[in-house]
């Protein structure tokens, strides 16, 4: 197979949670640019519909759906609607996530539970439901969005977010263990661990702690969202067929020291 063919996603169908803005939107557009049809879903339907229009302008088909991924019934419905429209699901990008910043000793229990419920339990629900469809066809690509902070502690001077970091550490292990469990079904399970990228989630931190963050990044700059496009297409395509259980860092060298 020639190199362009390895990365060609024509005829594929991808689902992206939290795809209405930020990293999720970027990845949805990247997969569409590579030829995939897209199902984009989140709690904010209007945002998903905007992205769906962008995808259709690229020549791909798109389906925008509203879904709270912490609710099993809503995840079931989204998967059903995707199958009804496209008859299959080839790629799942588990992107939805949230954070909470506070010192560990003062974090409200409810805040901890919200982060864990969305970042871990929501990822599990989407993966299980979509995975069942992939198993039927003995084929699939699951791509989890984790974080550089899932593999280490972070300086509270600029990132005091124990619930978030804990949840991403769990997603790292979830990725590796699921890869082992589902290899027999020809399902690849990998993860992308971004460093610092400009999104609504990082806006306050950049404005208030930006100097401390940049001092830690070897490349001395934040990532640009388009710099995530190549890695998600790689992990969704035939180019990564012999790769599973891997966490791919895209962080400007942040985890290199």
Q: Where are the domains of the chain?
A: 3-248
Mean pLDDT of the chain: 96
pLDDT number for residue 128: 98
pLDDT number for residue 201: 84
How does pLDDT run across 126-152, given as a tens digit for each residue? 999 999 999 999 999 999 999 999 999
Strands 91-94 and 62-66: unpaired
CATH class, 3-248 region:
alpha beta
Q: Residue 220 CB: number of other CB atoms within 10 A?
A: 10
Residue with tokens 């989890």: 144
How does pLDDT run across 9-67, given as a tens digit for each residue? 999 999 999 999 999 999 999 999 999 999 999 999 999 999 999 999 999 999 999 99
Does this model's pTM top 0.75? My answer is yes
Top pLDDT among 83 and 208 is at 83
Would you please indicate which residues are annotated as catalytic (active-site) residues? 164
Chain centroid to Cα 234, Å, comes to 14
How does pLDDT run across 146-174, given as a tens digit for each residue? 999 999 999 898 889 999 999 999 999 99
Residue with tokens 């905007």: 50
The residues, ordered by sequence, that sit 6+ positions from 43 with a Cβ below 8 Å of its Cβ are 66, 67, 68
Q: Residue 236 CB: number of other CB atoms within 10 A?
A: 27
pLDDT number for residue 61: 98
pLDDT number for residue 158: 85
pLDDT of 245 over the 90 cut: yes
Beta partners for residue 91, in sequence order: 14, 141
pLDDT number for residue 34: 98
What burial letters (b/e) apply to 173-182, b meaning 16+ CB within 10 Å?
ebbbebbeeb
How does pLDDT run across 101-127, given as a tens digit for each residue? 899 999 999 999 999 999 999 999 999
pLDDT number for residue 48: 98
pLDDT number for residue 88: 98
pLDDT of 204 over the 90 cut: no
């Amino acid at each position: 197979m020639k190199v362009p063919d390895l990365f060609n996603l024509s005829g594929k169908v991808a689902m992206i949670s939290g795809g209405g803005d930020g990293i999720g939107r970027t990845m949805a557009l990247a997969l569409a640019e590579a030829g995939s049809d897209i199902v984009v879903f989140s709690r904010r339907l209007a945002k998903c519909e905007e992205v769906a229009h962008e995808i259709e302008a690229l020549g791909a088909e798109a389906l925008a759906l509203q879904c709270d991924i912490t609710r099993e019934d809503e995840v079931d419905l989204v998967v059903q609607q995707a199958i009804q429209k496209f008859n299959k699901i080839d790629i799942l990008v588990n992107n939805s996530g949230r954070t909470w910043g506070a010192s560990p000793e003062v974090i409200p229990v409810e805040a901890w539970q919200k982060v864990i419920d969305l970042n871990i339990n929501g990822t599990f629900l989407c993966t299980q439901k979509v995975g069942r469809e992939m198993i039927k066809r003995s084929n699939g690509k699951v791509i989890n969005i984790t974080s550089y902070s899932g593999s280490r502690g972070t300086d509270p001077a600029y990132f005091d977010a124990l619930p978030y970091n804990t949840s991403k550490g769990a997603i790292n292990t979830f990725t590796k263990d699921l890869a082992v469990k589902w290899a027999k079904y020809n399902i690849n399970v990998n993860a992308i661990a971004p460093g610092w990228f400009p999104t609504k989630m990082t806006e306050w931190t950049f404005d208030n702690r930006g100097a401390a963050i940049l001092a830690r990044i070897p490349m001395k700059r934040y990532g640009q969202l388009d710099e995530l496009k190549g890695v998600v297409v790689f992990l969704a395509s035939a180019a990564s067929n012999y790769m599973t259980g891997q966490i791919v860092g895209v962080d400007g060298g942040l985890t290199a020291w």
